[in-house]
A and B are shown apart, each in its own frame.
Chain A
Amino acid sequence: MLSTDRLKELACAAIDEKAAEIIDVAKDILAHPEPGYSETRTAQVVANKFTDLGIKYKQGLALTGVKGRFSGGAGPGPKVAILGELDSLLVSDHPHADSETTAAHACGHHCQIGMMLGATMGLMSPQVLEQLHGEIIPFAVPAEEFIEVERRLQLRADGKVEFLGGKQELIRLGEFDDVDMAVMCHTASDMGERKFAMGGTSNGHVVKYVQFLGRGAHAGSAPHRGINALNAATFALQAINANRELYKEEDTVRIHGIMTKGGEAVSAVPSEVKLEWRVRSSTPEAVARNSAIVDRCFKAGAMAVGASVKITNIPGYLPMRHDNTLQELFRKNSSALLGESSILVMSPGRNRGGSTDMGDLSHVIPVCHPYTSGAVGAGHSKDYVITDYQNAVVNPAKIMAMTVIDLLADGGVKAKEVLDRHRPIMKKDAYVKFQREQAEIVEYSGGA
């Protein structure tokens, strides 16, 4: 029987052999970006690779998810998922943006698919796999970026999804029922000299789709007959900003949004104005508290000019809780691969401010969501590009493969330890119930 270290060497060697192939996958996806719940081409790339590798898979999960599954040769044991996110953002001025759809991989998800496949290939090396227990689930998941809210609400109305985030929907569908723990790795551009980082947390959030309804009128000849929905919305935004002094630093409150419709023609009093809004905070309680403040501001906007407002509150993401045992494995393996000085471990309270649906999964099963270097530019901006595919794809593929080997070698004892130590914050049913309770429609008429 080979040592765990030897298994890791073999897996890493296999990944090195496939390095060009997995980087090509990432670059192919970069060239064909697709936003959440419409990643059909990207999903097919994954499905084709699974077919090539002889991995059984299901596809079309939560519209586009592709879930592979293969077993270790050493017998039954825990089931470990390696996740990769399929979706792009919309950043029209990104150098790799789709000129038609404006979709662009400005958050490096294309690398996640490359590294997920790379880790899979490493683990499938015959000498490695035959010594692993349990099952490995390479899983390409849709719609991590919570964008295009109006379009996704339509999907919800059409009964195609219930939750607007991919992992949320997959949890609801039971696609994590047969997964004991999950790992993934996200690219980052803000690591300085470090190459790999882990720990910290992320914000939870609630997503709002807001419609102000006024009354149209000729803006020149009869403005007194109109009710200006744009003024209602503008007032609401000022009101939101006036409340910022209420937010506590430890809550890492982020309140932001966009106006997706600001009127139809400049010669008419705007009668309908639409916003997509987001309230992020470090705890679900703070999200709820700050969400209520923002709702009150939207209502005040309606009242200010006698308009009405409909706020569709959509369940957002939960804060990230990394599993300590998994994180320790990531720390050891990344240190071994890259050198200890290249590794950054963030304290559990360090909140990066963003949100991810991996946070949701972290409330249900043990997960770890570390970061790898290789990107430059501000995340979600036109400047965010991958400059070092070795760091962005190959190294994390190796680190994830090494971590899975730790978990499933030796009779899967380490994975069992993870499970024994883990106390889920919510069971799946409680999670689904909790998130359903976050969905509400608030309607308010500010008319006198």
Chain B
Amino acid sequence: MPSKEDLKRLAFQAIDDRADEIVGLAQTILKNPEPGFRETKTSKLVASKFAELSIPFKAGMAMTAVRGEITGGTAGPTLAILGEMDSLIVSEHPHADAETGAAHACGHHCQIAMLYGAALALSQSGVLQELSGRLIFMAVPAEEYIEIEYRDSLRREGKIEFLGGKPELIKLGEFDDVNLAMMLHTTSTPAEKQLCLSGTNNGTLAKKIQFIGLGAHAGGTPHLGINALNAATLALTAIHFNRETFQDSDTIRVHPIITKGGEAVSAVPADVRMETFVRGRTIEAIMDANMKVDRALKAGAMAVGAKVTIQTIPGYMPLSQNQEMADIFEANSVDLVGKENVGHVSHRTGSTDMGDVSQLMPVIHPYVGGASGIGHGADYVIEDYKLAVITAAKALTATAVDLLGDGAAKAGTIIGGHRPEMTKDEYLKFMRRMASEETFESE
């Protein structure tokens, strides 16, 4: 029986043999960026790649997901490797779609390529027979929580219930038969080095806000109007007045934008809309900050006698990662890039729907370098595809081999020792309870 090291060598060889093709896939997706729940071209591309590899798959769940599945030589647990398909919208990004403004300013195109590389290695190199259990390769939609207006319309049409890809897939049961999950995200942060173990992430919820005032001629009869823009700007001020009550340890982030600020400069703005996230390290911290944000929004409305409708939309759960899986990933990282090139971060204040998956099962969500620029910025580009895609694919592949090799002994230990935060039912109940819509009208 070949050792795990032998299996990894075989798998790595398969990746190296087709490195150009794997990187080419990333670059194709880079040139065809599609934001969440609109990843039709990307989804088709993934499906065709799975077909080429003769990996059975199904597609179209949560609008665009593609889920391939292969089974090892003997029975065992199920490990999912995830890759996120969606782009951001950053119109000034060098690789932005001129028409839609969509751009891969967060490196997700590399995730699909590394997912493909791992699928290729694990399905084609002969290692599969030596593994126990199943491997699921899941191209998932809509990790970036953007275009809330569009996604909410999908929700109202009944096409999705949740506005993030993984929560929707959880609801649809696509994680019901998954025991462990992992993915690998690109990073441009030098401190995170070439491969980086991370700890926790903020959770978030999203809010859609509409201030409703009363239009009037801004020159002739401003006294007859109710200025919804003043309500909104005062609400922002009120939010800021609460910042000193956010605890450092809760890493609260509240960062609204105004999506509609009035219609014509000569009219008192009667309809002003905002979106914001409320992020925090724990669910309790998010709920506390959310209460303060709601209060601030109402204070803005009250200040000018306007009305405010606050829609709270479940976002993402805080991320926690399984330490034993992380240890395995770290060992493989050291083998691949050397100890000096492996970084560690403890908490990141962004949010990911991998957090939702982490509420249900052991997961890891480490980082791979190769990017430069500021994440979500116009200058975030991949400079080292060998690292961001090829080394990444190897790290995932090697970790899969460690988890499911030896009769999936490691995976079995991890699953046995893990106490999930929530069951799927509890998770769905919680998410649905977070969804609310409230209208506040000042006297």
Q: Which A residues contact B (CB, under 8 angstroms)?
A: 219, 223-224, 226-228, 231-232, 234-235, 238-239, 242-243, 245-248, 269, 293, 296-297, 299-301, 303-306, 446, 448
Complex contact B245–A226 (CB within 8 A): yes
Inter-chain contact B241/A300, CB cutoff 8 Å:
no
List 12 contacting pairs A-B, 8 Å CB cutoff, sorted by A: A239-B299, A239-B303, A239-B304, A242-B234, A245-B268, A296-B303, A296-B305, A296-B443, A300-B234, A303-B298, A303-B302, A304-B300
Residue-by-residue, is B420-443 near A (CB-CB < 8 Å gives 1, otherwise 0)? 000000000000000000000011
Determine if A245 and B222 form an interchain contact, defined as CB atoms under 8 angstroms apart.
yes
Chain A residues near B302: list those with CB within 8 A: 296, 299-300, 303
- List residues of chain B with CB within 8 A of the CB of A297: 303
Docked pose: A301 CA to B244 CA in angstroms: 16
Q: Are B222 and A304 in contact (CB under 8 A)?
A: no
In the complex, residue of chain A having the shortest beta-carbon distance to the beta carbon of B226 = A246
**Docked-complex contact A246 and B234, CB < 8 angstroms:** no
Contact with A along B201-228 (1 / 0, CB 8 A): 0000000000000000010001101010
Number of A-B contacts (CB under 8 A): 92
Q: Map CB proximity to A onto B269-291 as digits: 1 under 8 Å, 0 otherwise.
A: 00000000000000000000001
What is the number of residues of chain B that contact chain A, defined by CB distance less than 8 Å? Answer: 31
- Distance of B37 from chain A, by nearest CB (Å): 34
Residues of chain A contacted by B225 (CB below 8 angstroms):
245-246
- Give the residue name and chain of the A residue nearest to B302 (CB): A300
| Other-chain residue from B242, B247, B304 in contact with A243 (beta carbon distance below 8 A) | B304
User: Which residue from chain A places its CB closest to the CB of B442 in the assembled complex?
Assistant: A296
- Whether A243 pairs with B291 at a CB distance below 8 angstroms is no
Chain A residue nearest to B229 (CB atoms) is A242
Chain B contact residues: helix, strand, loop or mixed: helix
| Nearest CB of chain B from residue A414's CB, rounded to whole Å | 43
With a 10 A CB-CB cut-off, give which of A235, A239, A300, A306 has the most chain B CB atoms.
A300
Q: Is the CB of A228 within 8 A of B241?
A: yes
Q: Are A305 and B223 in contact (CB under 8 A)?
A: no
- B residues lining the A interface (CB < 8 Å): 218, 222-223, 225, 227, 230, 233-234, 237-238, 241-242, 244-247, 268, 291-292, 294-296, 298-300, 302-305, 442-443
- Does B295 lie within 8 Å of A245, measured CB to CB? no
- Contact indicator A304/B233 (Cβ below 8 Å): no
Q: How far is the CA of A281 from the CA of B123 in the complex (A)?
A: 82
Whether B234 and A238, one on each chain, are in contact in the complex, defined by CB atoms closer than 8 angstroms, is: yes
User: Which residue of the partner chain A has the closest CB to B238?
Assistant: A304
Which residues on B sit within 8 Å (CB–CB) of A446? 295, 299
Contact B299 A303 (CB under 8 A): yes
Q: A246 vs B227: C-alpha distance in the bound complex, in angstroms?
A: 9
Q: Is the CB–CB distance between B303 and A300 below 8 Å?
A: yes
A290 to chain B: closest CB distance in Å?
10
Known contacts A223-B245, A301-B299; can you find 15 more A-B pairs with CB under 8 A?
Answer: A227-B245, A228-B244, A238-B234, A239-B303, A242-B303, A296-B305, A300-B300, A300-B442, A304-B238, A304-B299, A304-B300, A305-B238, A446-B295, A446-B299, A448-B294
In angstroms, Cα B295 to Cα A247, docked, is 27
Bound Cα distance A113, B237 (Å): 50
- Closest B residue, CB atoms, query A299: B302
Q: Is A300 touching B245 in the complex (CB atoms < 8 A)? A: no
Distance in angstroms between the alpha carbons of A231 and B234 in the assembled complex:
12
In the bound complex, residues from chain B placing their C-beta under 8 Å from that of A231 are 241-242, 244
Name the A residues within 8 Å of B218 (CB-CB): 245
User: How distant is A212 from chain B, measured CB to nearest CB, in Å?
Assistant: 12
**Nearest A residue to B231 by beta-carbon distance?**
A242
Bound CA–CA A96/B237 (angstroms): 42
C-alpha spacing A2/B291, complex, angstroms: 83
